[in-house]
Amino acid sequence: MDIETRHMSYTCIQFPIGIKAKFTHKLQEWQKCNSIVNLPANNISSLSIQQTTPPSIKICLQEVLNSTTTGKMILDYYKINNKFNNSIRTLLVDVIISYIITKQIPMSVNLASSIGSDIVKMFQSEVKDTYFMKDGLNKNPKGKLYAKYYNSMRTLKISGLVSKNLLSKPYHTVDIILNAIDIDFNTLYPNCPDLN
């Protein structure tokens, strides 16, 4: 079930209107990019399967590209040429992986596959196997997305910019939202005792 605007007055009651508006806007963006499928209440087997599988993280490729100058230039390039060369593909992967690392989103097979599919949907001349490919059950995934992510993370770890256990710690969207609310609350009300 999606949270609607009318629910926001109950969830953010003690926050100023600006924080409520910003939170509502970000939540609506997130809901657009992460279409949530509602399960029927009487389907118990589907419910138990959903609880045992971890939630998959999905990013909105259009939002990622529009958030950077390079991403906008890639979109403009495709509108003019209707295809990419290898340099543009490399730039596309750089923008996507930079976003993933910056947002501390853990890379997974499902995420890479989803991004590869999104690329093919957005840029019809592209082939998914260039960006993501998984051969068989026991083989490691291949493609520009996986290679760039793991090479970037290795470089960041070697240089000491990223903790070596970053990949093993799951980072959920709810945690991000709760952390942002805590920061906003503590900033607005520094003398208020901790409610935890």
Comparing C-alpha atoms, which of 77, 111, 120, 71 is closest to residue 92?
Answer: 71
Question: CA 149, 142, 165, 55 torsion: positive or negative?
Answer: positive
d(CA 127, CA 153): 25
d(CA 102, CA 94): 12
Q: What are phi and psi of 39, to 5 degrees?
A: -95, 145
* Window from 99-108, 112-121, 123-132, 154-163 with minimum mean pLDDT: 154-163
The pLDDT of 138-142, averaged and rounded, is: 77
The yes-or-no verdict on residue 114 having pLDDT over 80 is yes
* Per-residue CA distances from 32 to 27, 35, 60, 186 (Å): 9, 6, 8, 29
Token digits of residue 76: 């403009």
**Residue 75 CB coordination number (10 Å):** 15
The yes-or-no verdict on residue 58 having pLDDT over 90 is no
Helix (H) or strand (E) holding 94: helix 86-102
Between 181 and 133, the more confident residue is 133
Q: What is the pTM of this model?
A: 0.58
Token digits of residue 8: 């926001």
Report the SS3 class of residue 34.
coil
pLDDT at 190: 60
Mean pLDDT of all residues in the chain?
A: 75
The pLDDT of 12-33, averaged and rounded, is: 71
Angle at 97 between CA 150 and CA 158, to 5 degrees: 40
pLDDT at 151: 92
164: amino acid identity, one letter: K
pLDDT-based confidence at 24, cuts 50/70/90?
confident
